[in-house]
Structure 1
Amino acid sequence: MMLGLGSAGVFLLAVSVQSGHVAQDSAFWKEETKERNYYTRYHNMTEISKWMEQMKRENPDVVSSLVYGQTYEKRNITLMKIGVSSTNRKKAIWMDCGIHAREWIAPAFCQYFVEEILRTYKTNSKLNEIVKNLDFYVTPVLNIDGYIYSWINESTRLWRKSRSPGTGGSTCYGTDINRNFNANWGVVGVSTDCCEQTYCGTKALSETEAQAVTDMLVKMSGDILAFFTIHSYSQMILVPYGHPNISAPNYNELMKVGLGAAKAIKDVHGIDYTVGTPSEILYPFTGSSQDYARQIGIPLSFTFELRDQGEHGFLLPEDQIQPTCEEAYAGVQHIISYAHDKAFYSSAATITATLWTTLLAAWVTTATVG
């Protein structure tokens, strides 16, 4: 989200080879995530990386990780794959968070999303079915360099872009990764000035982070049923395309499903989300990952702009993390359920998705974290 102001892969968890230290570390992180309301706080990159390793340790049959690229500063871009093994080729859901460094609620949501899937898929029959049929590919932090930079001090807290150097001897740094994808790159809602917040880069995919996502999406495009990129702020669900004169071929479907997700969100804590294309409800811009995903044939492509509507903006207080994540989870699951049922049950999709939304809303309202 562009309003107001503008790590060698995910750090690997370093543990002693001594088994006692490993056990102690594991016990600490289990206590940290389960008993200290881990999911109600923001976490730096080191903590998120340790959390990723913990999720793999505790769920070895369901969680694995994959390094699929590097940032400008040579940090590994790592995703978490969640799903049960199958002899058949499975369909997929893609989610990335933290493409804009200052939007801390986005990585917090990715962590919450993973935790909720792992915590409930064995006891929730619908989710259990989905996990058997689909794999989730979740990147908790895509713009790792920028995210780490945003944690340095108050003067860097609102950093948005990547950390690649500017052009022509400029002392400015960074490209807006969400203007750098090869989807009407450089056309509207972007800047060619490397000092500006919406600088789109020297060319499409000039940023290694955008290239990494592109390579994965192309490789998996035939299997991905739904694409999510998580941002803040403004309480919106954006659908393709960002260009004001181009409509997605399934625009009506995207709007229908998006409005259903907005209803699921409102049913949790009464918060309203607006649904539409960027040019309809926000501002036109091109070169986004959402547009690229739809352009290469991924049918359901959405950008979630989480809380709030400007009171706190990018500095969303920690006491809003849990309710923000609870409602966004309901919205995302509405879309996932629709995508799943459309793929596996076709005509039953609408009925099942509606039922799932109703059941999920009732469940989320009473759910607690940890």
Structure 2
Amino acid sequence: MLDLWQPDMTEDIATLREIHVRIPYSHVEEMKEKLLQQAIPFTIMIEDVQKLIDKSTVTDRKMQKISLESYDYKKYHPMTEIYEWMDEVKERHGDLVTHHYLGSTYEHRPIYYFKIGWPSDKQKKVVVIDCGIHAREWIAVAFCQWFVKEILANHKSDRILPNVLSQVDFYVIPVVNVDGYIYSWTNERLWRKNRSPQGNGTCYGVDLNRNFNSQWCSVGASRNCSSLTYCGPEAASELETKALVSLVERHRPNILSYLTIHSYGQYILLPFGYKKNESENHKELTEVAEKAAAKLKEKHGKVYTVGSSSVVLYDNSGSSADWAADLKIKLAYTFELRDNGTYGFQLPENQIEQTCEENIIAVMSMLEYINEKYLESNAVILSSFWLNTLLSCAVCMYYTLIH
């Protein structure tokens, strides 16, 4: 059985577009022969996928209490360590971070998220970041952790973060698909879906990024439960999807941006995957993404393609970013991180740092835009603060004089 990595479905294979496919060792020579017979050019991108899996899978990690001082963000971490890391973050940074229960998985595991921002009596704006929807995309999970690290390290010294954090709360979900992520560590490294039984128990898992109510299962998704792109029995059928929907629905009027993090391909994708029509604010989305991609490239020279998935990548429906855009959330994007196929879903740990560094720059570029376009300036906030302070003093003096 051939494992199609890009595009997700055979229906999306098109003329003059690359396809990436994993071939069992026993069929490699036969496949080469058939491709040569048909004069189809090909390149072997990964000689031995299993070797990469063996390198990235930790088997001898010593279980010890997590310490933020020694936590290694340049490595992939199993779910037990991520849970512990989240506990440590909330304990050490309780002034800025709160830890919340999002929901439960089919296998009764908790899904947690961070709310990051300064406490405020005013209604704040919201940015939602989901990671780990697809189990095998470990670099997405690593990025979410890196993002939290960077916010905590720079929240006082950065040029815009103090202002942003006073008016915006970040809702960061490091691993949405907890069951699938654990399964990719313990059973099958290339597992993609969640782990709910389907088809009367004949197969397992739903592709959570095909399960949202955004033209659900119309294109680029399968109704066959054995498919990697199985959309589920109905829209938002999965507990993980329901939990994320509930969070967004509660805060929808205040959400400025929704980012969903994936791999691989190096794209910043705009809505939509299910149609060629552009979103109402397509021009704004494009300008923000192109500026982010340009700044990203300056860091390590990597090129990230900007455009709607249906135009620059392939058709798909039911994704969380498209669903967010359908809800009129202004800045909804899908980030497809490194690489272009040399390693595919097996991105080595030695590329975590650079991948996260360049994409932090991209996200910070978007936050700069949000700060300029949608938030009050530092001066306004400071003026308001001093005005309130002076009024308080005046009231105190008034009562002092009276008495």
TM above 0.5, yes or no, is yes
For 1:305, which of 336, 342, 345 is the aligned residue?
Answer: 336
Q: Does 1:220 align with 2:251?
A: yes
Structure 2 CA distance for partners of 1:168 and 1:278, relative to 1, 3 Å: same
One-letter amino acid of the counterpart of residue 250, structure 1: N
Aligned to 1:76: 110
CA distance in 2: counterparts of 1:219 and 1:295, whole angstroms: 16
Q: Deviations over 1:306-361 (max 9, x none)?
A: 00000001000000000000000000111122123211259xxxxxxxxxxxxxxx
One-letter amino acid of the counterpart of residue 160, structure 1: R
One-letter amino acid of the counterpart of residue 112, structure 1: W
Alignment of 1:333-348 (within 5 A): 333-344=364-375
For 2:273, which of 229, 234, 242 is the aligned residue?
Answer: 242
Match of 1:130, SS state, is helix
Note if contact 1:180-1:201 (Cα within 8 Å) is conserved in structure 2.
Answer: yes
Q: Deviations over 1:123-148 (max 9, x none)?
A: 11311111111111000000000000
CA drift of 1:5 comes to 6.1
Q: Deviations over 1:242-276 (max 9, x none)?
A: 11243211111111111111011101111000001
Q: Deviations over 1:46-75 (max 9, x none)?
A: 001111011111111011111121111111
CA distance in 2: counterparts of 1:339 and 1:167, whole angstroms: 44
CA distance in 2: counterparts of 1:201 and 1:66, whole angstroms: 27
CA distance in 2: counterparts of 1:59 and 1:4, whole angstroms: 44
Note if contact 1:189-1:286 (Cα within 8 Å) is conserved in structure 2.
Answer: yes
Aligned to 2:120: 86
One-letter amino acid of the counterpart of residue 264, structure 1: K
For 1:64, which of 95, 98, 101 is the aligned residue?
Answer: 98
Aligned to 1:51: 85
Aligned to 1:159: 191
Q: Deviations over 1:213-235 (max 9, x none)?
A: 11111111111111100000000
CA drift of 1:168 comes to 3.8
Note if contact 1:93-1:336 (Cα within 8 Å) is conserved in structure 2.
Answer: no
Match of 2:87, SS state, is helix
For 1:120, which of 154, 165, 168 is the aligned residue?
Answer: 154
Q: Does 1:210 align with 2:241?
A: yes
Note if contact 1:72-1:163 (Cα within 8 Å) is conserved in structure 2.
Answer: yes
For 2:164, which of 130, 144, 147 is the aligned residue?
Answer: 130
For 2:67, which of 24, 29, 51 is the aligned residue?
Answer: 29
CA distance in 2: counterparts of 1:4 and 1:129, whole angstroms: 46
CA distance in 1: counterparts of 2:177 and 2:289, whole angstroms: 26
Q: Does 1:109 align with 2:143?
A: yes
Structure 2 CA distance for partners of 1:5 and 1:114, relative to 1, 3 Å: farther
One-letter amino acid of the counterpart of residue 82, structure 1: I
Q: Does 1:39 align with 2:73?
A: yes
Alignment of 1:181-330 (within 5 A): 181-330=212-361
Note if contact 2:276-2:311 (Cα within 8 Å) is conserved in structure 1.
Answer: no
TM-score normalised according to structure 1 size: 0.84
One-letter amino acid of the counterpart of residue 157, structure 1: R
Match of 2:344, SS state, is coil
Note if contact 1:218-1:296 (Cα within 8 Å) is conserved in structure 2.
Answer: no
Between 99-108 and 62-71, report the one with greater CA deviation: 62-71
Alignment length, in residue pairs?
A: 320
Note if contact 1:239-1:303 (Cα within 8 Å) is conserved in structure 2.
Answer: yes
Unpaired runs of 5+ in structure 1?
7-24, 347-370
CA distance in 1: counterparts of 2:80 and 2:110, whole angstroms: 13
Between 334-343 and 302-311, report the one with greater CA deviation: 334-343
Structure 2 CA distance for partners of 1:125 and 1:75, relative to 1, 3 Å: same
Match of 2:302, SS state, is coil
CA distance in 1: counterparts of 2:248 and 2:363, whole angstroms: 19
Note if contact 2:68-2:89 (Cα within 8 Å) is conserved in structure 1.
Answer: no
Note if contact 2:126-2:256 (Cα within 8 Å) is conserved in structure 1.
Answer: yes
Larger Rg: 2
One-letter amino acid of the counterpart of residue 165, structure 1: P
CA distance in 2: counterparts of 1:271 and 1:304, whole angstroms: 14
CA distance in 2: counterparts of 1:60 and 1:262, whole angstroms: 33
Aligned to 1:352: none
Structure 2 CA distance for partners of 1:4 and 1:334, relative to 1, 3 Å: farther
Aligned to 1:149: 183
CA drift of 1:174 comes to 0.4
CA distance in 1: counterparts of 2:363 and 2:176, whole angstroms: 19
CA drift of 1:104 comes to 0.1
One-letter amino acid of the counterpart of residue 68, structure 2: K
One-letter amino acid of the counterpart of residue 67, structure 2: W
Q: Which runs of 4+ in 1 moved over 3 A?
A: 1-6
CA distance in 1: counterparts of 2:207 and 2:130, whole angstroms: 15
TM-score normalised according to structure 2 size: 0.77
CA distance in 1: counterparts of 2:280 and 2:296, whole angstroms: 26
Match of 1:293, SS state, is helix
RMSD: 1.6
For 2:209, which of 178, 182, 187 is the aligned residue?
Answer: 178
